[in-house]
């Protein structure tokens, strides 16, 4: 299953129809071609009553190809970083709490990009990757083009204890280590895709 956040809707790409969870606001559609994907997506994305769209094909890779053909693809990488005090690293950007992440440069390895972006956005050092977390997908518009962004996430550990430095030129106005007791402020003011990543804290 691939979960994609799109404005006020969630899109699921599934290869097992039993993964469909029927509600009055959910719909399941079998997709056999790019043409059908384009048509159904355009109709359903504008349907206010539908908040969860399940696209089904027994071949999940083919289904993703059908879906991604409608978008420009951007790949990014970032980290959910923990320190010795069991605190987690968050940035504040555009009025919301977020996790450090950024676009993968041409020919750059994914793990290298993830560490680089965390370092650049937060001013931290001595990062090590603990494990890979599930990728997130979300859709947005940029210059009237539809973008499908995949972000590769990694749980990281940091021994760095000096002052954090927000990357102001990227719109980051604050960087903080936050304990588990303080995570409510994050959940109350962040993106659904970030909440999805934060589930990795308790796995």
CB 72 within 8 A of CB 146: yes
Burial class (CB in 10 A: 0-12, 13-18, 19+), 133: buried
pLDDT band at 78 (very low <50, low <70, confident <90, very high): very high
At residue 102, the pLDDT reads 95
- Residues 84-94: tens digit of each pLDDT: 999 999 999 99
Higher model confidence: residue 200 or residue 181? 181
The CATH label, of 3.40.50.2300, 3.30.420.10, 3.90.79.10, 3.40.50.300, for the domain at 72-202 is: 3.90.79.10
At residue 30, the pLDDT reads 97
For residues 126 and 167, give the distance between their C-alpha atoms in angstroms, rounded to a whole number. 18
Delimit the CATH 3.90.79.10 region(s) of the chain.
Answer: 72-202
At residue 7, the pLDDT reads 77
- Residues 17-34: tens digit of each pLDDT: 999 999 999 999 999 999
At residue 200, the pLDDT reads 66
CB 198 within 8 A of CB 183: yes
């Amino acid at each position: 299953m691939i979960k994609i956040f799109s404005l006020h809707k969630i899109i699921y790409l599934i290869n097992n129809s039993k993964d469909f969870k029927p509600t009055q606001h959910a719909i399941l559609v079998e997709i056999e071609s790019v043409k059908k994907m384009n048509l159904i997506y355009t109709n359903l994305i504008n349907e206010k009553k539908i908040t969860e769209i399940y696209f089904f094909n027994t071949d999940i890779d083919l289904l993703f190809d059908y879906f991604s053909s409608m978008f420009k693809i951007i790949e990014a990488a970032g980290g959910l970083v923990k320190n010795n005090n069991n605190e987690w690293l968050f940035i504040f950007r555009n009025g919301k709490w977020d996790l450090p992440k950024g676009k993968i440069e041409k020919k750059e390895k994914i793990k290298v990009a993830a560490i680089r972006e965390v370092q650049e956005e937060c001013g931290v050092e001595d990062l090590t990757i603990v494990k890979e977390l599930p990728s997130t997908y979300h859709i947005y518009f940029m210059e009237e083009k539809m973008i499908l962004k995949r972000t590769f996430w990694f749980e990281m550990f940091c021994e760095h204890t000096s002052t954090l430095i927000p990357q102001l030129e990227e719109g980051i106005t604050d960087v903080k280590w936050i304990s588990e007791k303080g995570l409510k402020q994050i959940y109350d003011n962040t993106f659904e895709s970030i909440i999805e990543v934060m589930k990795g804290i308790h796995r």
